Amino acid sequence: MTVRRIAVVTAGLSNPSSTRMLADRLSAATMHSLEEKGIQAEVDVFELRDYAHDITNNLLTGFAAPALESMINAVVSADALIAVTPIFSTSYSGLFKSFIDILEPDALTGTPVLIGANAGTPRHSLAIDYAIRPLFAYLHAEPVSTGVFAASSDWGGSGDQVAPLRERIERGARELAEAIVRREPAVSDDPFDPAHYLGEGRSFGHLLGGLAGE
């Protein structure tokens, strides 16, 4: 049986982070849904704060350092993506957008995506649909219908009582699991194939600059 792989990208800036906490809840629920369907899966979690300097350098030079290149390859070759960002000034964080900006426009074509976002107040919940979802549409990804927003109150007892956070997480996770089951398993690149470096999302400058890895 092919083991499916889920990439989790979280753009929280603090440590610990409520953004990471939401990402962990989403990934755990997705794994549980897949297990119920008899599907084995692995999760790779990437905190963008750990790659912030490399992302900035990539934007300035067009070259990705080895650690960032490895992370990008893991994300774009995954069977599904869980992407979670804090909401600043009614939209996604600058770090989250910067990461999206260094991906090739077709890097996530057909990839199922579960979108998550968090902020201090429920007033920002619409940011998932008017700000974040269009980013993944541009990348030709396939976000599931349910986006999961968590306000500060959702982590306590005063959150949404009509659709509690737990229920929204489980619904989004089920949708992502179903999308993974419908999709053929992703095929990883051959690291010895030149296309691994020169194909989609790879820059020849990585080889010229000695950035392709040791």
Nearest 10 degrees: Cα torsion 186, 117, 163, 138: -50
Domain residue limits, the chain: 4-208
For 134-165, the pLDDT digits (tens) are 999 999 999 999 999 999 888 876 555 667 89
SS3 193: coil
For 72-121, the pLDDT digits (tens) are 999 999 999 999 999 998 899 999 999 999 999 999 999 999 999 999 88
CA distance 125 to 182: 29
CA distance 87 to 124: 7
What's the pTM value of the predicted model, to 2 decimals?
0.85
CA distance 112 to 15: 28
For 68-83, the pLDDT digits (tens) are 999 999 999 999 999 9
Domain 4-208 has CATH 3.40.50.360: yes
Which residues 6+ apart lie within 8 Å of 116 measured at CB? 19, 22, 23, 26, 82, 83, 84, 85, 147, 148, 149, 150, 172
